[in-house]
Amino acid sequence: MEKNAKIYVAGHRGMVGSALVRRLNQLGYRNIITRSSSELDLRNQQQVFAFFEAEKPDYVFLSAAKVGGINANNIYRADFLYDNLMIESNTIHAAYVNKVKKLLFLGSSCIYPRMAPQPLKESYLLTGTLEYTNEPYAIAKIAGIKLCENYRLQYGCNFISVMPTNLYGPNDNYDLAKSHVLPALLRKIHTAKIKNIPIVEVWGSGTPLREFLHVDDLSDACLFLMEHYNERELVNIGTGTDLPIKDLALLIMQVAKYKGEIKFDSTKPDGTPRKLMDVTKLMTLGWKPKISLEEGIRMVYSEVEQMKFSD
């Protein structure tokens, strides 16, 4: 990407979009365009088409999405399906019509079958049944991958898809009913520490395995792929290592210096037993993560210590 190229980051207020804007700024890109959802509703086809026609961006990072943790995915099922399908269809079609040079679409590791062999290779897409708690989100993200693939095949568009593992970092969502596990446990453990509460509740059995990537590593990988990858097949972005949720809780307790106990809430779902990315392809292309999980949790915990929670 040329330093003066017009780059549209869709979803710049979210955790991923804001990390992309930070990284683009650090690298000296000076023509970044953004719109908040109140200025541009990406679910609205007319608004999206008018925006692309007026702005004619050269490059697009499609990081706008309705996202959330296991509980939000499971409850707002229709919204996760509808909102994400509309955002992707409108943006990808407008990018084609307005001759965007390259578009990068962000998916998720939940697109892979629930019981797929581990680690998850890109080729496992559509080889089995999805995890039901996040099936609507996964189906919308699979549609996004297929839009990119088929606009490439039919119209020659250089649209690529990347699949990040579970992410965390600045601008994460700390709403306990909607968040992912890592920010939820940071909040619960921090609150328990400062209020001297002896027990922290962890959802499910604590046995599911998850892989976590700091969003600053993700944005770095996305920029790397925007520069170096022009193929039809999706690319996984992760670290290649995972840990049980129980160990994640223990690690956060250690970072927060909290000495209480964990209590598992078996009324809450576990979700997919394991979703470890096979990152051979990305590493062969020449990229690897820089921020270890412990270092990343320390960075985020220092922000959490400054936050004011109502609980």
What residues make contact with ligand GFB under the rule CB under 6 A?
69-71, 73, 108-110, 133-134, 137, 166, 179-181, 184-185, 202-204, 208, 210, 245, 268-272
112 belongs to the catalytic site: no
Cis before residue 119, ω within 30 degrees of 0? yes
User: Residue 234 Cβ, how far from ligand GFB at the closest point, in Å?
Assistant: 14
Least Å distance between CB 179 and ligand GFB?
6
Crossing angle between the packed helical segments 45-55 and 77-97, to the nearest 10 degrees: 30
Q: Residue 57 or residue 69: which is nearer to ligand GFB going by CB? A: 69
Q: Which one, 73 or 239, has the nearer CB to ligand GFB? A: 73
Residues 6 or more apart whose CB falls under 8 angstroms from that of 196 comprise: none
Q: What is the token pair recorded at 83? A: 């909102």
Q: DSSP class of residue 123?
A: G
Closer residue to ligand GFB in complex, CB, 86/215 = 215
Least distance to ligand GFB, CB of residue 173, Å: 10
How far apart CA 86 and CA 111 sit, in angstroms, is 18
Please answer whether residues 190 and 301 qualify as being in contact, where contact means their C-beta atoms are separated by less than 8 angstroms. yes
Q: What is the DSSP letter of 212?
A: E
- For ligand GFB, which is the closer residue by CB, 15 or 70? 70
Rank residues 149 and 172 by Cβ distance to ligand GFB and give the closer one. Answer: 172
CB of 94 to ligand GFB, least distance (A): 25
**Residue 162 CA to its chain's centroid (Å):** 10
Contact of 210 with 275, CB cutoff 8 Å: yes
| Least distance (Å) between residue 178 CB and ligand GFB | 8
Q: Are 188 and 31 spatial neighbours (Cβ–Cβ below 8 Å)?
A: no
Alpha helices in 56-177 (DSSP H): 70-75, 77-97, 135-155
Expressed in angstroms, the distance from the first to the final Cα of the chain is: 45
Give the span between the Cα atoms of 157 and 230, in whole angstroms.
10
9 vs 189, beta carbon nearer ligand GFB: 189
Catalytic-role residue among 8, 29, 59, 137: 137
Min dist. Cβ of residue 286 to ligand GFB (A): 25
**Closest CB to ligand GFB among 104 and 181?**
181
Smallest separation (angstroms) from ligand GFB to the CB of 153 = 26
How far is Cα 221 from Cα 160, in angstroms, rounded to an integer?
A: 13
Dist. CA 42–CA 35, nearest whole Å: 10
What residue type is assigned to position 234 of the chain? L
Instruction: Say how far apart CA 116 and CA 107 lie, in whole Å.
Output: 17
Q: Which residue number is nearest to ligand GFB in terms of Cβ? A: 69
Residues with active-site annotation: 137
